[in-house]
Amino acid sequence: MSHTAILFPGQGAQAVGMGKDLAEAFPASRAVFDTANRVLGFDLARLCFEGPIEELTKSSNTQPAIFTVSAACFAALRAQRPDVAFAATAGLSLGEWSALWYAGSISLEDALRVLQARGRFMQESCDERPGGMVSIIGAAPDKVQALCAATGVEVANFNSADQIVLSGPADRIAEAAKRAAEFGARKAVKLNVAGAFHSSLMASAARKLEALLAGVTFKAPARPVFSNVSGRPHGSPDEIRQLMVQQVTSSVRWISCVEGMKAQGIRAHLECGPGKVLAGLVKRIDKDAAVHNINDRPTLEGALNSGAIA
């Protein structure tokens, strides 16, 4: 039995050119892009391959784009290893939708439609209630919680023990960044994002997503999918629907996800999609874990030659 989990990245991993060499080399990967183009009603493949980055970075484009590239990366892997299977899966924020797709909980087409709308809903929330995010480096979790209480911001992401991302109104985020050193932080880095993701400022996006998901079919996952909200595996289709709505305003408990997978015997992780942020975060949470990533042909070949993929 495999002791490897497959992970999927979230927003921020986008880059012009992503997925291009895989689409050129593997018909299965090209087919994923073709499906995305048809479902979304525009040439997403061209946007991923050629940009411009300003259009690619718009949330309504970025979210389906990163999902599509992640699915295309997996399609390339499966073309090389048709029987490949993983013991568990997880994704960061929008990457959790990729994980649900991999586990058979949602179709490729429905995931594309949901993520295009989810990106639009989140941008609308950003316009209605402007905000920002800041990454706090080197402070203990209890100190970061105290910083939140002192400045009126919220934890957006528990990425690792020494990296916690905060979210909130722009003026309060600025104060949190300014006061971070008082609470033991080595560094506070403001993020170049459109708004206060994974916070109460996204409430209107969550309501709109809830209405949309009422008409989307979910199935029970074929393998464990770790929830950003709970840090535990998803359950029934109704529970999935509820948690994916909550995810928009809740903290991403990535540490709990990785620790939960470790408790289930996961010893290696394969990040599938643009970038390699998750591979780095996993090593900071579980230093003994083996990590690999697939985002183009060289990394695919490297992962296949590593022996990590059964």
Query: What is the DSSP track for 61-111?
Result: HHHHHHHHHHHHHHHHHHHH-TT---SEEEESTTHHHHHHHHTTSS-HHHH
**What residue ranges of the chain have pLDDT lower than 70?**
1, 308, 310
What is the percent of the chain where pLDDT is above 70?
99
The pLDDT of residue 306: 82
The pLDDT of residue 244: 98
Sheet architecture: strand order including 154-160: 154-160, 163-169, 131-137, 187-190
The pLDDT of residue 194: 84
Q: Identify the helix (H) or strand (E) that includes residue 271.
A: strand 268-272
- Look at domain 130-190 and name its CATH class: alpha beta
The pLDDT of residue 1: 44
Express each pLDDT in 276-301 by its tens digit. 999 999 999 999 999 999 999 999 99
Q: Two tokens at 185? A: 């932080």
- Look at domain 4-127+200-306 and name its CATH class: alpha beta
Q: What is the CA radius of gyration of the chain?
A: 18
SS3 159: strand
- The residues, any chain, with a CB within 8 Å of residue 89's CB and separated by 6 or more, are 5, 6, 7, 8, 99, 102, 103, 223, 224, 225, 226
Q: Two tokens at 119? A: 């990106």
Express each pLDDT in 48-66 by its tens digit. 999 999 999 888 999 999 9
Q: Is the link from the previous residue into 221 a cis peptide, with omega within 30 of 0?
A: no
Catalytic residue among 60, 125, 167, 198: 198
| Burial bucket for residue 287 (CB in 10 Å: 0-12, 13-18, 19+) | exposed
Instruction: Read off the pTM.
Output: 0.95
Parts of the chain belonging to CATH 3.40.366.10: 4-127+200-306
70 is catalytic: no
Catalytic residue among 93, 125, 251, 256: 93
167 is catalytic: no
Parts of the chain belonging to CATH 3.30.70.250: 130-190
CA dist., res. 73 & res. 295, Å (int): 6
The pLDDT of residue 310: 64
The pLDDT of residue 107: 98
